Each structure stands twice: as structure tokens, then as C-alpha cells.
Amino acid sequence: MKIKTGKMVSETDYKNPIFIPLYKTSETVETMIPEDLANAIKNVTHSAKTEKNDREIKKIYVNLNGNYTPVYLLSLSKKPENFTCFAEYGYTIGKILKKDKIKSFSFLAFEDTLFDNSLEEKENSVYTKNFIDGIYFGLYAYEKYLTKKQAYKLKELKVITQSEALGNYLKNFEETNTIFENIYLSRDLINEPANDLTPATFSKIIKNKSPERLTVQVYNEKDIEEKGLNLINAVGKGSANKPRFVKLTYKGNPGSKKNIALVGKGVTFDSGGTNLKPTGYIETMKTDMSGASLMFALTRLIAESKLKVNVNTFIPLVENTIGTSACRPGDIYKSASGKTVEILNTDAEGRLILADALYMATKEKPDLIVDAATLTGACVVALGSHIAGMFSNRPSISETFLKASNSMGEDFWELPLYKGYASNLKSKIADIQNISSQKREAGTIIAALFLEEFVANYPWIHLDIAGVAFLEEEHKIYGNAASGFGIRTLYEFIKKEYC
């Protein structure tokens, strides 16, 4: 998508739809649009303002120079309290653009229309940034398996603004395009069914879609065995679709030894294994590779944006199936780290493959490890589908991470690595077991404590995205199905703190 800017709506803009946000008075708006348009919307704005619904978008057709131009009016009865609602307006507009198949349109920036006098707020482009992000989320469609595809694309967007700060932000718009290309890629992968997205095909997609700046190494099932990644092998060997382990390397700061490690859970289908999941819990389990898709898309985004940081990304890919060669409850395996693990529940498989991947990450002596995983149903119960769980073994890192998450309007909630529960993971005959002896309690914390055993006290963040990665009910920004949640926050966080 291309972006253009202008200080006023001009007559050439009449060819395409125009989006106008209004607040209290339309005075500022009137200085930014030609008289004929101002006259045409006067009556409508009056009636729109009396609507009870704060964010109703009215579509009217205005005869401008003999053209019937669609004009969308968003009338706000009160000044919005936070910026996330702008992403919601954007999402709604994005959906309208998609439905009406609009190729090009212009809109008046909130920075200009909401704040007549306050320069300070005008200088902050956060409203338009969020609005445009919302538009991107609303435009997304997953059509791969439809015989009749719309193949709709918004080509151009024109922002009408007199704010210099916003104009400057929009000059670097290429970055936003790259961010959303990768968010879309991540959503596509999550939405893809498990009969087509297997560990092998996923690893091939990673190879094909990685830019040259990224080095890709793929271990097949033999390599996995040889390298002693026995937990990945244990979870993956039950399926005819054999496991893979992918390592991506990006050297954005070759002069420095500093590096970060990213790890993503890549279970292409989680049947639960021998502890088979029942109906009602198994249907969406093609999405159990959301952490892997997030970390792949994020790494690609970092490389494409040429961030000055060294990144190693570790992606264990398995299909967790039931079958004669699948692992069983009670089996004991020696992990890559050397610790022996008793598998008491084959459905707690994410932490097993992550244990080996986290151990591989520690070998790089990283300054930070971040893992993302659709790890526990307990996290969905605790935080629902709008908030992700977050853990860290360094309070200062939690703080900066949560700052980044707040600035992106993505909600993460910190949960404690409460050491008092660690003894629940003690096995009678191995070094550790993969589920708690207190079966129903604090499942999300227990899973995090299990992972902590494999990070060797390197600075670490664990993100449980079980609730947020795939949305069964429509979200006001992310819509339906795969969300792409977390990429913006992690990108912002890494850019601010590690570049």
C-alpha cells in the first residue's frame, strides 16, 4: 500500500471516497475541505452528532463536481480516553473498504480534527498510527481455500493533515507496510490447516520466505536425534509427518557479540497425543504453532527492516499425534540439556519441545531469550482471549516489555514465577516431570516454571499466547481467527531496548 499526504482535500480527491472524523464542532474540518463538501455534510453532521452511538460511521453520497463521492462520517460525542479506540475505528473502516472494494481513499487526520487548539496533542501521531494499524487489521482476508477469491487490495491511502510531526511519521511509512506484511504472513500460517502445514512444509515455507540476510538451518528427524533433541523427537515421532528443528540467524550488528534469542512453539497439530483431547478442545489445534509463526514473522521483519541487532531464532516443529510410535504417559527421556524428564501427560507437549529449543538458545549466551507459545488452556481461563500471559526472571525487563506492550495497545499481563510451586514438578524417578502433582492448580505458572528449568538463568521472557493467538469471536481490532497478536509489541520492544 502506498501513502500520500496533503494539507487539504482537493478536487482530485473527489474521485475516491473520503473519510471524515468529527468531534463537537466541524470548524477545523471546514478549513480542510472545499466549500461544496463542507456545505454538503453540514446537515448530516448535525444529525450524526445527536446519535447516541458514539462511533457510528455514516455513509453518504455527495455530489461533488458531478461525481457522487462516498463520504464516511465518524461522529464522536466525547474525546476518546485512550488511543486503542482509533485502531478500532481503523478496523471498522478497513472492513468497509474491503466490502466496498475501494482501491484508494483519503481521510482527515484525527490529530487535526480532534484537537483544535492543543498543539501538544497535535504533535503526537499516535492516533493516526493506530488508525492505520486498525485499517490493516480490518483489510486482512484469508482466501487460500476459497474457489472464488476477492483478491482485493487497497492500493493507496491519502492522509489529509496539517501536522508536521504526522507528515514526518508518514514519510517512513515503508516500515508499517513491512510490519503488516509479516503480520499477514503469520496469520496465514496460523489459519492454514494441519493437513497442509506439517513440520516439513512449514520448514520449507520458512526457507522460501526468508530474505537473503537470514541464514536458515533445518534439522530433519535424523539430525534431531543425532543432536540429542530427544524431547522434540519424543513429541514428534508418533506422526508420519516427522519433526523438524529450524534455526534462523540474523547478524544485524556484526561488530557486536550481543545477541537475542527467539523461541516459538511449533506444534502443527496438537491432538493431545496418547492423552487424546476430547471434542470441544481439539478443533482449533491446528493453531498450536502460533508461537512459531510469530517468531518467524518477527525475525523476518527484523531482517527486512535491517535492525541493528543479532538474532538467533529457534523453531521446534512437531505434530503431536496418537499412534503406535507415539510417546506414552510414564515415558522418560533425556533432554538436550541433560536433565531427564518424565512425561506424565502427552498433552503437555509444548513445554517439552520448548525445553530443548530453550537449551539450544542458551548455547548462544544470549542477552535475552523470548519465547512465545500457545502453552496452556489455564491461561485462556485466567486471562481470556484479549490478554496474553507474560513472565520474566528479571523485573526490569518485565517493566520495559510492558511499556512497549502498552504503547502498542496489546495487552500482556505479568504472572509470577512463584518458586513455592516448583516442587510440584518433582518426579519420583526422573529429574523433573512435565505436569504438576497438584493437577488442577496454577497451570500457566507451572508451565512457566517448567520452562525456567531450561533457561540457565539467562534473561528471559515467556509469553503464553494460548488465548490471544486465534479468536473464535470477532475482536474489535484483530477480527476473527488468527490475530497476529504480539508481533508489534515485540518489534517495538526489541527496537527500543536492544538496537
8 A C-beta contact, residue 118 and residue 163: no
Q: Does 345 bind ligand BES (CB under 6 A)?
A: yes
- Within positions 383 to 442, which residues make up the interface with ligand BES, using CB under 6 A? 435
- Quick one: which of 173, 473, 468 has its CA closest to 294? 468
- Active-site hit among 277, 334, 403, 476: 277
Of 270 and 411, which has the nearer Cβ to Zn ion?
270
Buried b (16+ CB within 10 A) or exposed e, 147-160: eeeeeeebeebbbb
Of 289 and 402, which has the nearer Cβ to ligand BES?
289
Q: Does 342 bind ligand BES (CB under 6 A)?
A: no
- Within positions 347 to 366, which residues make up the interface with ligand BES, using CB under 6 A? 347-350
Q: Does 443 bind ligand BES (CB under 6 A)?
A: yes
Shortest reach from residue 184's CB to Zn ion, in Å: 24
Residues with Cβ within 8 Å of 19's Cβ and at least 6 positions away in sequence, in order, are 71, 72, 74, 93, 105, 106, 107, 108
Determine which residue in the list 374, 424, 433, 489 makes contact with ligand BES, applying CB under 6 A: 374
Which residue type does 40 have? A
Shortest reach from residue 242's CB to Zn ion, in Å: 18
Of 401 and 470, which has the nearer Cβ to ligand BES?
470
Residues with Cβ within 8 Å of 297's Cβ and at least 6 positions away in sequence, in order, are 182, 183, 185, 186, 189, 484, 487
Shortest reach from residue 407's CB to ligand BES, in Å: 27
351 is catalytic: yes
Of 198 and 210, which has the nearer Cβ to Zn ion?
198
426 is catalytic: no
Near ligand BES by CB under 6 A, which window of 246-254, 370-378, 406-414, 478-486?
370-378
Which residue type does 259 have? N
- Within positions 265 to 294, which residues make up the interface with ligand BES, using CB under 6 A? 270, 288
Which contacts qualify for 321-325: CB closer than 8 Å, 24 or more apart?
321/238, 321/239, 321/269, 321/271, 321/273, 322/238, 322/271, 322/272, 322/273, 322/274, 322/276, 323/238, 323/239, 324/238, 325/237, 325/238
Near ligand BES by CB under 6 A, which window of 53-61, 143-151, 179-187, 368-376?
368-376
Residue 294: C-alpha distances to residues 148, 186, 248, 310, 314 (Å): 28, 6, 13, 18, 12
8 A C-beta contact, residue 140 and residue 184: yes
**Which listed option, Zn ion, ligand BES, none, makes contact with residue 62 (CB within 5 to 8 Å by class)?**
none
Residues 466-495, one symbol each (x = binds ligand BES by CB under 6 A, - = not), give x-----------------------------
**280 in the Ramachandran plot: left (φ > 0), alpha (ψ -120 to 50) or beta?**
left
**Interface with Zn ion (CB under 5 A):** 267, 270, 288, 347, 349-350
Give the residue ranges of DSSP H helices in 74-114: 84-99, 110-113
Of 311 and 382, which has the nearer Cβ to ligand BES?
382
**Which listed option, ligand BES, Zn ion, none, makes contact with residue 299 (CB within 5 to 8 Å by class)?**
none
The 8-class DSSP code of residue 276 comes to P
**Which listed option, Zn ion, ligand BES, none, makes contact with residue 377 (CB within 5 to 8 Å by class)?**
ligand BES
Binding site for ligand BES (CB under 6 A): 270, 288, 345, 347-350, 374-378, 380, 435, 443, 466
Task: Give me the active site residues, please.
Answer: 277, 351
